[in-house]
Structure formats: C-alpha cells, structure tokens
Chains A and B, each alone.
Chain A
Amino acid sequence: NAGVTQTPKFRILKIGQSMTLQCTQDMNHNYMYWYRQDPGMGLKLIYYSVGAGITDKGEVPNGYNVSRSTTEDFPLRLELAAPSQTSVYFCASSPQAVSTQYFGPGTRLTVL
C-alpha cells in the first residue's frame, strides 16, 4: 500500500494564479482532511470529508475549495492565490472519525 500520496511536492505560484493539490489514498478510508502548516502554528484544518460526495469546512477554509467524487481522491483547489497561502499543505485520511490519521508527505507551496 502506498498510503496517502500527494502531488506536487513543491510549487511556486504567482499572485492570482490557481492550482489544484492532489491527494490520493489507497486504504479505503472514509475520512479525509486537508491541513496547512505554518511555522510555530501547528496544523490548521482547511476542509474535511466524511465520505464521497460529502465535504465540510474546517478552521481556515477561505480561499480554498474541495471536492470528493471518489473514496480515494480529495483534491484541494486554490483560486486566486495570495501570499498568505504560502504554506506546507498536508492531506490525511482516517478509517473513522477522530481516529488515527495517516498523513501524506506534504506539498510546499510558495506564492510570490
């Protein structure tokens, strides 16, 4: 099993550009999460999903969108990138609510 995979690993965007961060898990987990990690701030939840077709906002959803058309995939869309979105983004999955989360390796995004 590959676990949770994320692409790309690194990306530089210009202000106003858009992009999609990809996340795929092969563990058949219903729950999936997107976090951003800024220095000294731990992890902040952006969006999460409890199953295909169901998504909900986390603590910091503004400027992002998600979709969950399959159990395996949970892409994160950035529209009109801003410097404040410079961060490391982690995708995670878990078999149940508030159980062990399995994290991907992260995507380091810089917006200039």
Chain B
Amino acid sequence: EAGVAQSPRYKIIEKRQSVAFWCNPISGHATLYWYQQILGQGPKLLIQFQNNGVVDDSQLPKDRFSAERLKGVDSTLKIQPAKLEDSAVYLCASGRMNTEAFFGQGTRLTVV
C-alpha cells in the first residue's frame, strides 16, 4: 500500500513570497490533516478535511493560509504572504475517522 505522498520535500522562500504544498493521501482515506511542526514541538493541527469538507480549521491563520481538497483526494496548502515564523515542517496525514493517522515525510519550509 502506497503511503502519503508530499511535495516538495524542501522549500526556501523569502518573506512575503507565496508557497504551496501538495499532498496525496493513502487511497480510500476520507480524512486528511495538515499539521505544522515547529522544531522541538509536537504537530499542531492546521486543518482537517473529511472527504472534501472542512471539519476543523480553527487554528489555521486564515489571513495568510488557505487549503483545499478537490474531489476529496489530493490537497494543497498555500501560504501567502509568508512570514519568518512560518518556518516549520508541514506534515500531511490521512486516515479513517477516529482511527490512526498515517503521515507523509513532510515539507520543510524555511522563510528568510
């Protein structure tokens, strides 16, 4: 079974630029999560989708972050404009509701 795919693996941008991350979940998983992990901290949920509907986006900074999941499969997370404090690893995970989540390798973002 293929795992969660994320791209790119690494990205370096200047502040105020925009960036987008892509995630392809495990086939058949209706739930998709985007987490932000700052160095030394646990993952923080940004947004959770169930199929293509948003379940929880309470911690998503909506003035600069946006996410979509078209057709209930792939998802993209965008940051525009980026700030220095957005430097982190962005993790995508997928699962079935109320069960374990499986993670991709993450995208390491550095904002300079």
Do A and B bind?
no
A interface residue numbers (CB < 8 A to B): none
